[in-house]
Amino acid sequence: MAISLGELAVRFGCELRGDPATLVDSVAALGHAHGRSITFLANSKHRKELELTQAAAVILDRKNADSSRVQVLIHENPYATYARIAATLHPLPTRAPGVHPSAIVAANACIDASAYVGPLTVIEEGVTIGARAVIGPHCVLEAGVVVEEDVRLVSRVTLCRGVAIGARTLLHTGVVIGTDGFGFAPERGGAWLKVPQVGSVRVGPDVEIGANTTVDRGAIEDTVIEEGVKLDNQIQIAHNVHVGAHTAMAACVGIAGSVNIGKRCMIGGAVGISGHLSIADDVVVTGLSMVSHTINQAGVYSSGIPTEEARKWRRTVARFKRWRTVEERLAALERAIHAPPRARQEEDDD
């Protein structure tokens, strides 16, 4: 697909400095672009690459526009504009509507005529699939699942009983939504009694969930993923968690049960969040942090210790281990300093 710079400028609200008839047919990085590709600059640190690029045009903001020797599309948010243009130039392949002959579909499932169901997929009783939805190969949709319009399940996605998936949501390979939460009641003798998980999972519209991420069903009420949430690969979300709209999480985050996460939060990779706490709107938690208490105010929060050269790290650990002794000596010194003169004299005599 080739599109003129003039059409892109009008469609995406850009100021064009260049020939509106110039055609582009692909996107590329600044340093690898060619005469029919478009690229972007969102960080001034890459301005040197901008001076050398061979792209047909560059998407950038006004303050960097004069540094470009090629044509430019000016927008206050170059990266988001690039994303929209890239989606236009590189659209996802379309699927012809229909159900593959190898799919197993319950007689009372309701599948829109414009939807696609791939090979070896299982659609159980009472499932509803909306218009233009794409259900890839080897997916399993258990009884009562609702999939709204334009949803895409890439492949091997499992939606357990009663799960609801909002419009335009994208679930990547291996996603599992609605498995039982980790709920067990202790009994005498150290045994565990399984607690029935009778809630479900509600996923809002425009959500994206990465490969092999799991979201557990609620114990009583539903686990909720609100609109616009973006989840990376290999995330674990436990039962009764509520994730606010437009929150984003990087890979390997682990969230324990009954956590309430606010809107527009950003959770870094491998963050662990303890159960039964709340995180306010607009909170950023940096990677590898451990959240063990409620966060009531917006801001940036961190924990953990950055990597060190091994010998320095061993010395640091040794100091940690000696800290109790140092603390006791310091407390004794403070008591001696603040003791009455007579008491100090008696200690000296002893």
DSSP state of 227: T
pLDDT beyond 60 at 124: yes
Residue in this structure with the two tokens 């020939």, named with its chain if needed: 19
- Known catalytic residue at 246: no
Supply φ then ψ for residue 64, to 5 degrees. -105, -5
With pLDDT > 90 as the criterion, what percentage of the chain qualifies?
86
Query: Is 115 within 8 Å of 95 (Cβ atoms)?
Result: no
Higher-scoring residue by pLDDT: 319, 238 = 238
The Cα-based distances of 157 to 135, 174, 231, 254 in angstroms read 9, 5, 15, 20
> Of 239, 242, 246, 276, which residue is the catalytic one?
239
Q: What is the CA radius of gyration of the chain?
A: 28
Which tokens in the block code for residue 330?
């310091």
Segment 10-19 mean pLDDT: 98
Q: Single out the residue of 34, 31, 32, 25 nearest to residue 5, CA to CA.
A: 25
For residue 326, the model assigns a pLDDT of 86
Q: How many residues does the chain have?
A: 350
DSSP state of 270: T
Confidence band (pLDDT; 50, 70, 90) for 58?
very high
Query: Is 143 within 8 Å of 123 (Cβ atoms)?
Result: no
3-class DSSP assignment, residue 51: helix
Cα 216 from Cα 231, distance rounded (Å): 14
Q: Single out the residue of 234, 235, 202 nearest to residue 218, CA to CA.
A: 202
Strand order in the sheet with 266-267: 98-99, 116-117, 134-135, 152-153, 170-171, 208-209, 230-231, 248-249, 266-267, 283-285, 299-301
pLDDT tens-digit map of 317-350: 998 888 888 888 889 888 888 887 765 556 556 5
For residue 347, the model assigns a pLDDT of 57
Which tokens in the block code for residue 343?
């008491």
pLDDT beyond 90 at 118: yes
Average pLDDT of every residue of the chain: 95
Cα 40 from Cα 38, distance rounded (Å): 7
Helix or strand holding residue 63 (H, E): helix 62-65
pLDDT tens-digit map of 162-183: 999 999 999 999 999 999 999 9
pLDDT beyond 90 at 305: no
**What domains can you pick out in the chain, each with its CATH number?**
3-89 (3.40.1390.10), 98-301 (2.160.10.10), 312-349 (no CATH)
pLDDT tens-digit map of 253-279: 999 999 999 999 999 999 999 999 999
